[in-house]
Amino acid sequence: MKEKYLAYLTTGLIAYLSPILTSLLFVGGLVMFDWITGVIKAQKAGEISSRKMIKKFYTGSSYLVAIAAVRWCEVYFGDVIPLVKPVIAMIALSELQSMRENIQAITGVDLLKNLFNVLQRKAES
């Protein structure tokens, strides 16, 4: 009998999360890349600690829970108000900024500054 309910629960979760699966994978990938660059940065600075690593795990997990909750609101309101994409955009910007800081600390190069310089040269010519 329990197997029947497990199958229902699994099917329900798949149906609920399938429209936002790519968003969940995207955010998960950003969090993992940020975590990896953060570990490299901490190792280079000699400040590696499990407390910071666990904090990043909780942050990434809370992102995924927040996306699922926002998806619930979207389903509740009948997809009239798109909520998932703006939340994904805010999380992505936060993670990209964190990765930028980590890469700058690791390599000493600010990727965004170089991009702005290239764009400014293109605009001037």
List of residues 6+ apart from 42 with CB closer than 8 A: 48, 49, 52
Q: Where are the domains of the chain?
A: 20-124
pLDDT tens, residue order, the chain (125 aa): 677 888 888 888 888 888 888 888 999 999 999 999 999 999 988 888 888 888 888 998 999 899 989 988 888 888 788 888 999 999 999 999 999 999 999 988 887 777 777 777 877 87
Rama region for 71: left / alpha / beta (φ>0; ψ in -120 to 50; rest): alpha
Q: CB of 27 within 8 A of CB of 98?
A: no
